[in-house]
Amino acid sequence: MEITAEIKSISYKPLLCKTLKEIPYNEIDSLFYKQASFILNFDDTNKFAVSWWVSAKRTRSYPYARVYDTLSFAGKKVTVIPIFKDEGKDGDRDYIQWDTISLMSLLGVYVIISYYKDAEKSTNYAGKITNQFFDLQQIKRELADLLSFQSSAVHWNMAQVEKVGEIGRHAISSYQQISSKLSIEMHSLPEAERRITELLEGKDVFKATSRGRARQAQDRESKTTQPKEQISGEKAILTIKNHLGGEYFFTADEARIEGETVVLTECKHSKKSVLPSIGDIQDGLIKMVLFTNLDTVYVDGKQYKPKAVLKLTSGIQASPSAQQRKILELLEREAKENGFKIIYENIEDISL
């Protein structure tokens, strides 16, 4: 099933956000990596909700969950994303995608595109590096600029894209230094230079190449069912457009037509626990932010009303613990507040 949809604006009340710790700006160097998401306190009147991505790829380390935890903050929400991450020749290398930046713009999140400046040699894998560290001086300069920036996240993020060539050059130079320092071979330098050159050619080329890869990933995901997923319906390709012409390429784990309604379901499964992890659930809630704000939805040229569903499944049969019930109570409230449905499968005694 191929679905196209439009979003005009986002309206959503998150309730499952964790309480963010507050970090004074003058302690950012020592405390930045201790929290995946936090409140950065510049002074009594200026505070940002900040999250950071471990990798540029949105399927690693629950970056959506980190962003979700900042959504309840009333002020500026900021997320730091590496332009690319190279783990060494025996590891992965992931590049930032245009659609990641576009999605953050849609959510009203200001993106700081950064790069890793230092790292440590992995003790578990001979050809990999680990514990990579951002150039915090560059991040602090961007944060200082953002303090006085008065326009929207969309405008800020477009300006960030204009800097990707310069940031990419810094990233390549840093990885060359890391490789020499740690005696670890990195991935192909010409390939990295080629990808950075694409970015240097401007945001239009960046958008075109990123979208092409996003479409390929979308097509691969739509044809693949992961072992952890318990899918009872048909996977669907979902392409969302906003009023600015931005496009976002996703899949729905399950999609089905019920009369004049198309039901879009995001599935989260736990193999060994009664519930999926909080990170998994929050990752699914980012999809609920999107699915509950769809305006016009078309399947094969016909318009339908969208219905959003979050399905939680378990590989064991057991009742939720007291702590898990607290999570479920908040989740049920969030579903009621925002107009989506929760389905539980193989989870006993779920009445709250």
CB 264 within 8 A of CB 255: yes
Runs of H (alpha helix) within the chain: 28-31, 63-68, 98-106, 136-147, 153-161, 164-182, 189-200, 203-222, 278-291, 322-338
Q: What is the pLDDT of residue 102?
A: 81
pLDDT along the chain (352 residues), means of 10: 90 96 97 97 94 88 94 96 94 86 89 97 94 98 96 91 90 96 92 78 61 60 49 75 75 92 94 89 94 94 96 86 91 97 77 54
CB 315 within 8 A of CB 346: yes
227-345 — its CATH code? 3.40.1350
**One-letter amino acid identity for 262?**
V
Alpha-carbon span 350 to 274, nearest angstrom: 11
Q: Would you call 109 exposed, middle or buried from its count of C-beta atoms within 10 A (0-12, 13-18, 19+)?
A: buried
Return the structure tokens found at 43: 């002074």
Report the C-alpha dihedral over residues 329, 332, 338, 340, rounded to 10 degrees. 160
Q: Which residue has the tokens 């009023």?
A: 243
- Give domain limits for the chain: 11-217, 227-345
Q: What is the pLDDT of residue 228?
A: 44
Q: What is the pLDDT of residue 230?
A: 44
Return the structure tokens found at 163: 């800097």
Q: What is the pLDDT of residue 286?
A: 94
Alpha-carbon span 290 to 287, nearest angstrom: 5
